Amino acid sequence: MPLFDVAVPDLGEFDEVEVIEILVAVGDEVALEDSLLTLESEKATMELPSPRAGVVREIAVSLGDKVSEGTVLMRIDA
């Protein structure tokens, strides 16, 4: 199966957000819309849902990382 990149979506008015929680591990099976990680801006937190079902093959960020729109967060074998 091909690897699918899960990236930071459009953040609206924010240039970057912080990764404050990683909810999955490499090897975990995820379903469509399962929460993958939590991002925090100056005003709010948001859980990022999985855009498809599959198996997490790589996590490309760490807790505390600052990320911006388009940054690859993880790869899913979908």
Encode pLDDT of 36-52 as tens digits: 999 999 888 999 999 99
How many angstroms separate the Cα of 78 from the Cα of each of 46, 49, 52? 23, 14, 7
**Residues facing 46 on adjacent strands:** 39
Count of domains in the chain? Answer: 1
Q: For the whole model, what pTM was predicted?
A: 0.90
CATH code for the domain in which residue 49 is found? 2.40.50.100
pLDDT at 1 over 70: no
pLDDT at 11 over 90: no
Q: Which of 43, 37, 26 is nearest to 67 (CA)?
A: 37
**Domain region containing 11:** 3-77
